[in-house]
Amino acid sequence: MTPPPLLQATRFERLLRQLLDGLFGGLRGSWRRRSLAVLALLVGFYLGQNATSLWLTEIGKRPVAVLGIVLLIELVVRLRSRWVARSVPLPWLMADNLRIGVVYAVVLEGFKLGS
C-alpha cells in the first residue's frame, strides 16, 4: 500500500509550486551550477559598481551612463525571452545573475548619490 500524497494537486498548490520554482529554481542542481550562479551574481555586482563609478568620473554625465546600462540590460532581457523556453541553461542563468548584480549595484549607487 502506497502512502497518500502530502499535497493535493489543486490550482493553488500548482501556483505556489510555480512561484517557488521561479524564485528558487536557479538554486537547484549540482554544486557547479549553484556556485557559478552565485559567482555570476557577485561578478555582476562588482562590474556594476566599477562601471558606474568609472563612467561617472570619466563621462561626467550620469543620465548617459545610466541609459547605457539600462539599454544593455534590456537587450539581455529581450534576448533571453526569445531564446529560452522553460528550463534555463547555465549560460542564461549566469547572464541573468550578472544582470541582477549590475542592477543591484546601479540602484545602490543611485541611493548613495541621492543621500
For the chain, 115 residues long, give each residue's pLDDT as a single digit of tens: 555 566 677 888 888 888 877 677 666 678 888 888 889 999 999 988 887 777 777 776 667 777 777 888 888 888 877 777 677 788 888 888 898 898 898 888 778 767 5
10: in domain:
no
pLDDT, residue 112, reads 78
86: in domain:
yes
pLDDT, residue 32, reads 85
58: in domain:
yes
Q: Tally the domains of the chain.
A: 1
51: in domain:
yes
**Domain region containing 68:** 29-114
pLDDT, residue 46, reads 93
Q: Is the dihedral of CA 51, 56, 61, 63 positive or negative?
A: positive
Q: Is the dihedral of CA 106, 111, 113, 114 positive or negative?
A: positive
23: in domain:
no
pLDDT, residue 89, reads 81
CB 52 within 8 A of CB 109: yes
73: in domain:
yes
Q: How far is CA 10 from CA 25, 32, 57, 59, in A?
A: 21, 34, 55, 55
1: in domain:
no
99: in domain:
yes
